[in-house]
Structure 1
Amino acid sequence: MRQTSIASPSGRDKRRAFIDRWVRMTVTSGGLLVLLTLMLIFVYLLYAVLPLFKPVSIRLDNQFVVKRNAPALALGMDIQGKIAYRIDNQGKGVFIRLGGQGSAPAGSVINEQALSAPPVSWSRAIGGQPLYGAGLSNGRFTLLQPDFSATPPGWQFPLGDQPRALDIQGKRLLHLALAEPQPQQFSVAAITDDSRLLVGQFTPQGQQITTLGAVPATVDQLLLAPDGRLLYVLSGNQVHIYQLVNRPLESEKLASDAPGSGWQLREVVSLVGEKEALSGPLTLSLLAGGKSLLVQSPDGVVTQWFDVRKGPSPSFHLTRIRSFTPASQGILTAENTRRVFALLSPHGELSLFSSIQSPPLLQSTLVEGISHADFSPWGDSLLVENASGWSVYRLDNRYPDITWRGLWQPLWYENYPEPAYVWQSSSAEESYQAKFSLIPIIFGTLKAAVYAMLFAVPLALAGAIYTAYFMSAGLRRVVKPTIEMMGAFPTVVIGLIAGIWLAPVIERYLAGILLLPLLLALAILLCGWGSARLSAKTQWPLPAGLGCDGTAAGDLTDRMAGPVVGAIIGGVGVGPTVA
């Protein structure tokens, strides 16, 4: 019986087997690492996105007794949530600790100061640092704001610690409104007890005071927009809107009292429908930015209004946008930087709203008998006062502008004539409301992909046909692996290389690149026509295909015409062009 022997592998075969195993392990490890990287990216994206849809929550952080001698007019906190202030109706301001520090317990007084005489009217400016105004019984007023940077914290008086005169007749200022359009320039509006409407522009150096005509017989409330150009006068169920056409901004123009001009009655808007009946007075509030007006009815329902330009008319009209229904009627308090507000009932029911949706972000139960409340500057805390003392609540409401409805449905934003799909995540405005609609992002992505495919598919098919049938073998051995490696690279890397290296090159030779297809086709046709016109005697000595090189002619023409055309159309590709 014949036996066959198995040859032992040679050194070359062993080396080849080792290389095969090494390549297999390398490719497998690389694939697993890529898969692991993709999974980690997905986990990170999930970690970053999930908080956007986390439900709003609130918890009690501290509760303590506070010494009080009179009802509060205003409450507020510092950014860190460690110190709060309280202003009462006797004109006294006090700073209080919200947490214990050493031997000083929570609720202990840090600083107490008499700010003004007992105010007849009271107002707070919208936006920026907290700014309050106290209207007095002698026609004067005082502006004040808390100063947490001092040690201990104290009070600042932007127009001086002495009251400034708004009414030279010395009448009581029944209603007051104020704004700070620019640093150290203040707008103040007031209604006197003899029904005169006064508007003044004040700086530390001077003032200009205007008496407005055509004032409603009964005025219930005044509000000034943060830019000082719109004045809302509430009278019953109507709001009279006055607009400042021209306002002096330079301090030298405010050197002395003078009758002002430029205030015009823009429109009178009814805030209640014809079939709606009121059981009490309305209340007005401005959201952050001063463009949205909140109207609270006696039954607790809140409606949002803002200016809308309708049709070709350049004028604006105050329009009702949406309504909010809280759990029960209560006091309204709004954040100073975001379009978020809360309604707190005497029974302690909290309804938290964002201005872009009617349903509440949060409904919860706090302490009963709330008489006053205010948000922290960042909206992460809520300070409430009742008969027992103060309660500090911590809010987790980091993304009030992110909702499922806002991502997929049109929303009506300020400065827009109608509901729209809008993506605009940032702006230069301090009180900007971010807009997050996925529809523009998805539509833009699909549109860009379609436009890219219109160019990519013909180029890819033409390149594949040329590589398979017309390209030389030596060049194909270089091009084919290069294309396969490009297919293995992530598209992000290829896009980065194209944006950093290829785009500047194309920009430099853009005119020549755009002219190349037209000139190349024209040159080939002309060369073919010219070759056909040559006689047989002329063509005989020439090698095949050398009668007229269309590619070379097109390249030469493109090099010559590219700079000229680029210079004509605006300096595009004025340098040497390549084909």
Structure 2
Amino acid sequence: MSTKTDLRVPELDFDTPALKRHRRIRGLKDRGATMGIAVGGSSVILAVLLICFYLLYEVAPLFQGATIDKARSFALPAGEAGKSLYLTSEEQAEVGFRVAENGDMIFFDLANGDVMNRVVNPHSSVPTAFAVESDTSHEIAFGYEDGRILVAKHVYKITYPNGERLITPSIEFPYGEEGVQVADYPIRNITMRDSSDRMTLAIMGDQQADVIRFTKDVNFITEEVELTEERQSLPFVADTQALLLSGDQRYLYMVTSTGDLSEFDVRDMDDITLKAELDLLADDAKLVSISYLLGQSSLMVADTSGRVSQWFNVRDDATNEEILTFIRDVKQPNGITGVAMEHRRKGFATLDEKGSVAIYNSTSSRQVIDEVVSDGSARMIGFSPRANGLLLEDSKGIHFFDVDNEHPEVSWTSLWGEVWYEGYQEPTYTWQSSAANNDFEPKYSLMPLAFGTIKAAFYAMLMAVPLAICGAIYTAYFMAPGLRRKVKPVIELMEALPTVILGFLAGLFFAPFLEENLAAAFSILVVLPIGILLFAFIWSRMPQNIRWLVPEGWQPMLLIPVVVVLGWFCVAMSPVIELNFFDGNIRGFITNDLGITFDQRNALVVGFAMGFAVIPTIFSITEDAIFSVPKALTQGSLALGATYWQTMVRVVLPTASPGIFSAVMIGMGRAVGETMIVLMATGNTPIMDFNIFEGMRTLAANLAVEVPESEVGSSHYRILFLAAFVLFIFTFVVNTIAESVRQHLRKKYGSL
């Protein structure tokens, strides 16, 4: 009797309520994950773009053009006094001031031209000479037919009655209303420099010229200023159109109408010497004006051909003498009729014969404005102290213009090119954003900062890349798994060290230690590799029963005492090496014999400190990339007869090359953006020198130092944002190139 077995497979129902619910929940999770990943990735991209756009928003005003708009016009205040010899305003650009041809000093309301105060010149006659000491001192000087000079000063007292600002202008006479008798001949030309302890005058008559110095002494009883006079005659130069004294009262310039300049050294009143003779003008041009820029260092020479040239003294290395040198010029098609200097910046404006006003900045060599604002009758212009207003006088009266010119000192040349700054012997790349005096010429070259960033990253990578990659190769490929599980976390833990701690240790401990043991630092570079190779050779010749005491892959532990002993030996021998080979002073040998500048906080310190910070990043990614190479590839290579080293070089490294390259690029990005280590361990000097014994200043460190101190909205503030944008673009370009190379390597070796 036989029985049949039912072998039918039970049917599976995939549409049960539980499975439907499960699939629905899983679908929701998948869609949620997809959406979350998309939103997260998009948010990261959006955040980066917003950072980029914000940087551009802050930087854009630097490169916007300036504007000039007519605000109001009115008849010449007190026009019966004659045309203006000098035209300016007070700080708030609410009260105008002009000196008329008859010597009267007139204050007027810049809102409507009404005369606020008219001070009649105390001298009975019309002045025959006039000079402005400087726009910032507010002092002016008159010369007269009888050989007398009168010094006046326009001052503005600000009060707040009923909570409203009230400006009260007045005239002071520092040396009395009677003036000072300085000559027995009519004064035709005059220049003056006044300081707290002395005043120097240069005067010229019809056939005679003199320089007079008054030394000031305060009478302790009457508290009056007593003047002690020194006088010396000067060679008379016919056709002299302008006299000019330098701000330090050292040099006197006589300039003829054809541009022939005679320079006198008047430091020693008993020995005034003719220092140099120059021709300032080209071709047949005639002198229009010669005046000083802010700081009284640069001469600005304007002529009828439309050219304004800048000259200042440059020290000659051979003779150690200062030589008046042509620096740069600007040209325009029309003849110039007037020039005005900005009171607080290295800028100036020109007025040409067609009524066009052009505004320039000498440092950046940038023309920011060139507009026709009047007719051909325009004869004089003057800036308000803040350079936000411009006064122009023509046959119709006075016109006041609002000027929006916030960042004239910024140009492509001033940011990335060599600029010849006042007091420098040659054009340089310089970053110096502030100084102690008000006559400072800002220096905003980003080249030293970009160079310092690359220099710091180079020396850091020079130390970190070989050690990190070689360590990762050995750890991933040759080291015992048990030891690898201990070593890798320890090295990765180094990345958790705050960089401010590393910078603190590098600046306050390692830098002085390295300076004192400089011979040890260089001997370690030689002794340590040789010692390790020698120990490896000796170990390989040891009996097998001794070598087998150390498990395979644990041999690196034997190198720890070797490295410690060799390092201690080099440090201990440092004084001996220094004494026998460098006369006991290796730093003096480097500085004096080799001619290399040595700073305690230098690129060598940064290389060690920042390299220590970058090593964990490069090591971790490289080690993962090598360890992730499929074992089948290495086993196949070994099975075909290749050695471990051949397998590593020809199979493992090419396969892992995309990951290794990414590790190097990420490490470089870390080095480029590092702030605290370079801030604390480099001396923070913005210089361009690849010398390993000198410091640097990086873009990131500069931002950390200067952003908190900068004035919001100023040129300095926006240039710092430009530096941040440059750093952003640099890292973006490097990462883009790195990703492109990584993808190329991945395609090339992905088939292995």
- Scaled to the shorter chain, the TM-score interval is 0.7 to 0.9
Q: Secondary structure at the match of 2:318?
A: coil
Post-superposition CA distance 1:306-325 (Å, at most 9, x none): 33445623223323343422
Equivalent residue number for residue 501 of structure 1? 501
**Structure 1 runs not aligned, ≥5 long:** 100-105, 247-259, 488-493, 573-578
When structure 1 is superposed on structure 2, of 156-165 and 546-555 the one drifting more is: 546-555
Contact 1:127–1:337 at 8 Å: present in 2 too?
Answer: no
Is the alpha carbon distance of 1:287 and 1:524 closer, same or farther for their aligned partners in structure 2, counting shifts above 3 Å? Answer: closer
Instruction: Map 1:125-274 onto structure 2 (within 5 A).
Output: 125-126=133-134, 128-150=136-158, 152-167=168-183, 170-180=184-194, 182-183=195-196, 185-203=198-216, 204-237=225-258, 238-246=260-268, 260-273=269-282
| Shift in Å, 1:461 | 0.9
| Shift in Å, 1:195 | 0.9
When structure 1 is superposed on structure 2, of 476-485 and 44-53 the one drifting more is: 476-485
Contact 2:366–2:411 at 8 Å: present in 1 too?
Answer: no
When structure 1 is superposed on structure 2, of 28-37 and 347-356 the one drifting more is: 28-37
Is the alpha carbon distance of 1:14 and 1:115 closer, same or farther for their aligned partners in structure 2, counting shifts above 3 Å? Answer: farther
1:373 pairs with 2:381: yes
Give the letter aligned to residue 165 of structure 1: Q
Contact 1:137–1:172 at 8 Å: present in 2 too?
Answer: yes
Instruction: Map 1:374-453 onto structure 2 (within 5 A).
Output: 374-453=382-461
| Shift in Å, 1:441 | 4.4
Is the alpha carbon distance of 1:543 and 1:344 closer, same or farther for their aligned partners in structure 2, counting shifts above 3 Å? Answer: closer
1:350 pairs with 2:357: yes
> Whose helix proportion is higher, 1 or 2?
2
d(CA) in 1 for partners of 2:238 and 2:189?
14
Equivalent residue number for residue 289 of structure 1? 295
Q: Secondary structure at the match of 1:205?
A: strand
Equivalent residue number for residue 63 of structure 2? 53
Give the TM-score, by structure 2 length: 0.62
| Shift in Å, 1:389 | 2.6
| Shift in Å, 1:223 | 0.7
Instruction: Map 1:451-530 onto structure 2 (within 5 A).
Output: 451-470=459-478, 473=481, 497-498=498-499, 500-507=500-507, 508-509=509-510, 511=514, 520-521=528-529, 524=532
Post-superposition CA distance 1:429-467 (Å, at most 9, x none): 422333444544444444444333322321231232133
| Shift in Å, 1:70 | 1.2
d(CA) in 1 for partners of 2:278 and 2:564?
71
CA RMSD for the aligned pairs? 4.3
d(CA) in 2 for partners of 1:149 and 1:426?
30
Give the letter aligned to residue 551 of structure 1: I
Is the alpha carbon distance of 1:155 and 1:565 closer, same or farther for their aligned partners in structure 2, counting shifts above 3 Å? Answer: farther
Is the alpha carbon distance of 1:349 and 1:421 closer, same or farther for their aligned partners in structure 2, counting shifts above 3 Å? Answer: same
Contact 1:524–1:551 at 8 Å: present in 2 too?
Answer: no
Equivalent residue number for residue 11 of structure 2? 3
Equivalent residue number for residue 43 of structure 1? 53
Post-superposition CA distance 1:53-106 (Å, at most 9, x none): 11121101122233332122222112221122222233322322222xxxxxx2
Instruction: Map 1:305-324 onto structure 2 (within 5 A).
Output: 305-309=311-315, 312-320=318-326, 321-324=328-331
| Shift in Å, 1:562 | 4.4
Give the letter aligned to residue 393 of structure 2: E
| Shift in Å, 1:469 | 2.8
Equivalent residue number for residue 303 of structure 1? 309
Match of 2:564 among 555, 563, 567: 555
Contact 2:246–2:296 at 8 Å: present in 1 too?
Answer: yes
Identity among equivalent pairs (%): 28
Match of 1:333 among 340, 352, 358: 340
d(CA) in 1 for partners of 2:13 and 2:492?
43
d(CA) in 2 for partners of 1:142 and 1:445?
57
When structure 1 is superposed on structure 2, of 416-425 and 316-325 the one drifting more is: 416-425
d(CA) in 2 for partners of 1:295 and 1:119?
25
Is the alpha carbon distance of 1:297 and 1:533 closer, same or farther for their aligned partners in structure 2, counting shifts above 3 Å? Answer: closer
Give the TM-score, by structure 1 length: 0.78
Is the alpha carbon distance of 1:3 and 1:116 closer, same or farther for their aligned partners in structure 2, counting shifts above 3 Å? Answer: farther
Contact 2:251–2:266 at 8 Å: present in 1 too?
Answer: yes
Give the letter aligned to residue 235 of structure 1: T
d(CA) in 1 for partners of 2:426 and 2:541?
68
d(CA) in 2 for partners of 1:355 and 1:232?
21
Match of 1:63 among 52, 61, 73: 73
d(CA) in 2 for partners of 1:308 and 1:548?
63
Equivalent residue number for residue 638 of structure 2? none
Contact 1:407–1:436 at 8 Å: present in 2 too?
Answer: yes
Give the letter aligned to residue 225 of structure 1: S
Q: Secondary structure at the match of 1:455?
A: helix
When structure 1 is superposed on structure 2, of 42-51 and 137-146 the one drifting more is: 137-146
Contact 1:201–1:207 at 8 Å: present in 2 too?
Answer: yes
d(CA) in 1 for partners of 2:562 and 2:26?
50
| Shift in Å, 1:242 | 0.8
When structure 1 is superposed on structure 2, of 127-136 and 526-535 the one drifting more is: 526-535
d(CA) in 1 for partners of 2:131 and 2:137?
14
Is the alpha carbon distance of 1:540 and 1:400 closer, same or farther for their aligned partners in structure 2, counting shifts above 3 Å? Answer: closer
Q: Secondary structure at the match of 1:305?
A: strand
When structure 1 is superposed on structure 2, of 192-201 and 75-84 the one drifting more is: 192-201
When structure 1 is superposed on structure 2, of 334-343 and 543-552 the one drifting more is: 543-552
Contact 2:334–2:353 at 8 Å: present in 1 too?
Answer: no
Contact 1:166–1:200 at 8 Å: present in 2 too?
Answer: no
d(CA) in 2 for partners of 1:211 and 1:363?
45
Equivalent residue number for residue 5 of structure 2? none
d(CA) in 1 for partners of 2:501 and 2:37?
29
Instruction: Map 1:55-94 onto structure 2 (within 5 A).
Output: 55-65=65-75, 66-71=77-82, 72-94=84-106
Q: Secondary structure at the match of 2:131?
A: strand
d(CA) in 1 for partners of 2:395 and 2:571?
83
Higher relative contact order (CA 8 A, sep 6+): 2
d(CA) in 1 for partners of 2:53 and 2:389?
31
Is the alpha carbon distance of 1:126 and 1:563 closer, same or farther for their aligned partners in structure 2, counting shifts above 3 Å? Answer: farther
| Shift in Å, 1:231 | 0.8
| Shift in Å, 1:266 | 0.6
When structure 1 is superposed on structure 2, of 547-556 and 199-208 the one drifting more is: 547-556
| Shift in Å, 1:192 | 3.2
d(CA) in 2 for partners of 1:122 and 1:215?
19
Give the letter aligned to residue 560 of structure 2: T
d(CA) in 2 for partners of 1:364 and 1:468?
71
Contact 1:515–1:558 at 8 Å: present in 2 too?
Answer: no
Is the alpha carbon distance of 1:465 and 1:373 closer, same or farther for their aligned partners in structure 2, counting shifts above 3 Å? Answer: same
Contact 1:127–1:226 at 8 Å: present in 2 too?
Answer: no
Is the alpha carbon distance of 1:67 and 1:319 closer, same or farther for their aligned partners in structure 2, counting shifts above 3 Å? Answer: same
Contact 2:305–2:334 at 8 Å: present in 1 too?
Answer: no
Equivalent residue number for residue 620 of structure 2? none
Is the alpha carbon distance of 1:27 and 1:94 closer, same or farther for their aligned partners in structure 2, counting shifts above 3 Å? Answer: same
Contact 2:289–2:339 at 8 Å: present in 1 too?
Answer: no
